[in-house]
Amino acid sequence: MLMKKLVRILFLFLFVGLILILGGILTLSLYYRNNFPVNTWINGVYCTGKTVEQVNGELAQQTTMPPVIIVGADGKSWQLDTKDIEGKADYTRSLKTYLRQNASMLWMNRLQKTSAKRLDPTGYSFDSGKLRESFEKLEPVRDAVNMEDGVALVLTEKGYELRDGNTMRLDPERAFSYLEECLKNGETFVSLADGNCYYDLEDSQQDRKQREIFSLVEKFADCGIVYDMGAEKIPLTADITGQFLTVGEDGLPVLDPSGNLVLNEAEVRAWVEKLAGDYDTAGKMLEFQTTRGDVVEVKYDTYGTKLDQEAEVAYLMEALSDPGRKAENHIPAYLKEGYVRELNDIGGTYIEVDMTEQHMYYYVDGALELDTDIVTGNTGRRMGTPQGVNFVYNKQKNRTLRGPGYATPVKYWMPVRGNVGIHDASWRSSFGGEIYKTNGSHGCINTPADIMAALYEKTEIGTPVIMFY
């Protein structure tokens, strides 16, 4: 009897123990359905026994939220600082999915096996009030709040622009809701156009008129004419051609009875005058860097550039009035044209006559080709060679130079200003120094015969000659 009683007690004890063990296993299994199983690591964080909220908090602390980029329909972008909106990464959804997939009654299998997982945030949390505050400071949102209805054609520094207050108007409330939605879904690159954040208003009759005129102005502005000034090219862009249109009392470009834009000749003329002011040199002063090292001021005398303004006004009035015109490079008409067509119409090829140093230089493309001592006009007899920017306007061989009381044959003759020129002087045995003060020429530039022969062959008609003391 005693033995049977002991057996019953032992069996009861084992049964209770088994129940307790199974109960403990079941309890832990139920526990690990809401808490991460043993030996679980996510993104380097030890998760065993922790809830989704606890792990999410730890992961958020070690994750830097990227800046929020908002892109408008026009392609412009703006950035929100995540610190300003208290932005944090949110792993909640991915953690719940992971826990649901890995919750198991066989949690004991994890005792000898470590699970390491990398998860990405599925969204971002933020302070909604601070997000709205930052959002409302953005340029497109401020513009949307202040945007006026209607269409307006406006002349700006860049030409005529159509300020359109009817199409693609931003809806700030819709845009903010879409921004919140994107952040909660883990998107920090927000395209407002993709979120249907824009709407249109219906055009009025005046709005339609503005659009029609603007289409004409756009075509007119794209005239394709490029002024070829030599080294410089000046395209007639919208900011230039916009000034050429006649404007009515309503502020809109005027149309003729045929529906064509009307040119304003006074504005065309003003532009041509400015072009001439920039490029004309005839009669102006030249600041010239001398070979001896200083800068002298020399007046443009026989040399220089002068645009034919009347011809250019007539050209533009005709060309711009032709709706079928084609793009072209236009070389303007000149009343007087320099050897070089550019702002610096002296260029790099010229003759420099330094009458103080009694020395002459010949440069080709900026490099010194020849230089020599010379003898210029006799200053003691008031026959000094005149200063000025002149040019070689002719070339002759075996010419006899004549004047009051003399007739002098020369082999090479290059006149540069009236009867003043550069020529050989075989009768002279020396050049340079101060000979010119008492035994100078009648005004010409006497040059050694061998140098003159070389200079004559190398120099082209039209070459600038800068003469100064």
Length in residues, the chain:
469
Structural domains present in the chain: 350-468 (2.40.440.10)
Task: Give the pLDDT confidence score for residue 324 in this predicted structure.
Answer: 75
DSSP 8-state secondary structure symbol assigned to residue 67: P
Task: Give the pLDDT confidence score for residue 403 in this predicted structure.
Answer: 85
Which of 308, 257, 321, 314 minimizes the C-alpha distance to 280? 308
Task: Give the pLDDT confidence score for residue 14 in this predicted structure.
Answer: 57
Quickly tell me which residue has 């302070």 as its tokens. Answer: 127
Task: Give the pLDDT confidence score for residue 31 in this predicted structure.
Answer: 52
Spatial distance between the Cα atoms of 336 and 416, rounded to a whole number of angstroms? 16
Task: Give the pLDDT confidence score for residue 36 in this predicted structure.
Answer: 85
Q: Is the Cβ–Cβ distance between 94 and 121 less than 8 Å?
A: yes
Q: Is the Cβ–Cβ distance between 117 and 45 less than 8 Å?
A: no
Task: Give the pLDDT confidence score for residue 115 in this predicted structure.
Answer: 75
Task: Give the pLDDT confidence score for residue 394 in this predicted structure.
Answer: 97
In tens digits, the chain (469 residues) has pLDDT values of: 666 666 566 555 555 555 544 444 444 454 556 788 878 898 999 888 888 999 899 999 998 899 999 999 999 999 999 999 999 999 999 988 888 877 654 445 555 577 788 988 989 999 999 999 999 999 999 988 888 899 999 999 999 999 999 999 999 999 999 999 999 999 999 999 999 999 999 999 999 999 999 999 999 988 899 999 999 999 999 999 999 999 999 889 999 999 999 999 999 999 999 999 999 999 999 999 999 999 999 999 999 999 999 999 999 999 999 877 778 999 999 999 999 999 999 999 999 999 999 999 999 999 999 999 999 999 999 999 999 999 999 999 999 999 888 899 999 999 999 999 999 999 999 999 999 999 999 999 999 999 999 999 999 999 999 999 9
H-type helices in 103-237, by residue range? 128-136, 139-146, 172-184, 205-221
**Residue 107, SS3 per DSSP:** helix
Angle at 179 (CA atoms; ends 178, 183), nearest 5 degrees: 115
Task: Give the pLDDT confidence score for residue 323 in this predicted structure.
Answer: 77
Task: Give the pLDDT confidence score for residue 101 in this predicted structure.
Answer: 78
Amino acid at 45: V
